[in-house]
Homo-oligomer: A and B are copies of this chain.
Amino acid sequence: MSKRVTSHDVARRAGVSRTTVSLVLNRSDAATFSPETRERVLQAAADLGYKPNSAARMLVSGNSETIGLVISNKDILSVDAFVPQVLHGIGEVNQRHGFHVLLESLASGPGAGTYDHLVESRRIDGLILLNPRQDDEALKRLIENKFPIVLVGTLRHPEEASINYSASASTRQAVDLLADLGHRNVGMVAFAPPGFVAVEGRKEALRRGLVARGLDLADSAVEHANFSAESGHAATRALLTRRPDITAIFAGNDTIAIGVISAARALGRRVPEDLSVVGHDDLPFAAWLSPALTTIRNDAVRQGALAAEMLISILEGKPVAERRVRLQSELMVRQSCAAAPR
């Protein structure tokens, strides 16, 4: 690699001081330079291919134009397609604003791994956190210290900034659909262990939906999987073995739904004739599974984009209309639900 080009080199080549270079390149408004000097500087910078050293810039300006993306559980990354969608949305917005993304995934298990060092070493200006856990005390501290942070999901903290999908309306719709098809015994396979806010939220939404139709969600009708299709398969086997009367299952997300369908078939049940399945997220492949998955759509790309936009607004000191955005998810009716067997 060739020697670095500094603003000093540009100054020398243009025959001006380093200050002049800096001012010309950064502040187009300060019109206190003659057009010809200005031109000479720009030319010299272009000739040398000058790119300011970001470390020096960070040091003096105090911000890094980088946002951290923290994924609450490392395991989710490798098996679920939700995260990359959010990443896609974030990346899009960031690129437009000249921001960068630093990725940090935390180990699984309670209290494992922190991201304080990212914050305290000033490596990032703000944070987007995916899928927060209810018991994340470090996160609460950060929020209360006013560190710029946007949640994808929610912590139900009064001071949080977040982009969150409400599952209630569309879950209600899905329940209506199933109830109208004659289903009375509905189960759930959550996508993660208890403790994740989204897990509890989806469970509660389902419970309320069922109660509204005179049904209920017994504890025995719920199993917790662990992010992967494989874990969904295992959980479903356990669930259907314990409660063979169940005729419809809400999967915590679409990846889990793959496991649910596979387990049903392994137990000799056809989908949807013998077991109806509802997914969650509407990942891009959901419409192309067999049968095409009926699922509750959360636009993950949009969620990521909105989170990034909100965070950048906060960082740039712009006013943010709503700090807790609640999006409505949408039921996508496809082929994985049918009339209850009798």
Closest to A90 in B: B103
Q: 27 A-B residue contacts at CB 8 Å?
A: A52-B121, A53-B121, A54-B58, A54-B121, A55-B55, A55-B59, A55-B123, A56-B59, A58-B58, A74-B88, A78-B84, A78-B85, A79-B284, A81-B81, A83-B84, A87-B103, A87-B105, A91-B104, A91-B105, A100-B118, A100-B123, A103-B103, A230-B284, A258-B285, A259-B285, A262-B290, A265-B290
**Given A102-B101, A228-B284, residue A1 in contact with residue B122 (CB < 8 A):** no
0/1 string, A45-66, CB within 8 A of B gives 1: 0000101111110110000101
Residues of B within 8 A of A55 (CB): 55-56, 58-59, 64, 122-123
Q: How far is the CA of A265 from the CA of B289 in the complex (A)?
A: 10
Residues of B within 8 A of A78 (CB): 84-85, 87-88, 284, 301
> With an 8 A cutoff between CB atoms, is A4 at the interface?
yes
Contacting pair A74 B54 (CB below 8 A): no
0/1 string, A260-277, CB within 8 A of B gives 1: 011001000000000000
Q: How far is the CA of A285 from the CA of B49 in the complex (A)?
A: 47
Closest to A148 in B: B1
> With an 8 A cutoff between CB atoms, is A229 at the interface?
yes
Contacting pair B288 A233 (CB below 8 A): yes
In this complex, how many residues of chain A approach chain B with their Cβ under 8 Å: the count is 62
A-B interface, 3 closest residue pairs, ranked by CB to CB distance from nearest: A55-B58, A78-B88, A51-B120
Q: How far is the CA of A27 from the CA of B50 in the complex (A)?
A: 35
Within 8 A of B (CB), among A278-304: 284-285, 287-290, 292, 301
Contacting pair B122 A54 (CB below 8 A): yes
Contacting pair B83 A105 (CB below 8 A): no
Distance (whole angstroms) from the CB of A102 to the closest CB of chain B:
6
Closest to A103 in B: B101
Closest to A71 in B: B91
> With an 8 A cutoff between CB atoms, is A77 at the interface?
yes
0/1 string, A76-111, CB within 8 A of B gives 1: 011111011101100110000000111111000000
0/1 string, A221-234, CB within 8 A of B gives 1: 00000001110110
> With an 8 A cutoff between CB atoms, is A255 at the interface?
yes
Distance (whole angstroms) from the CB of A274 to the closest CB of chain B:
14
> With an 8 A cutoff between CB atoms, is A147 at the interface?
yes
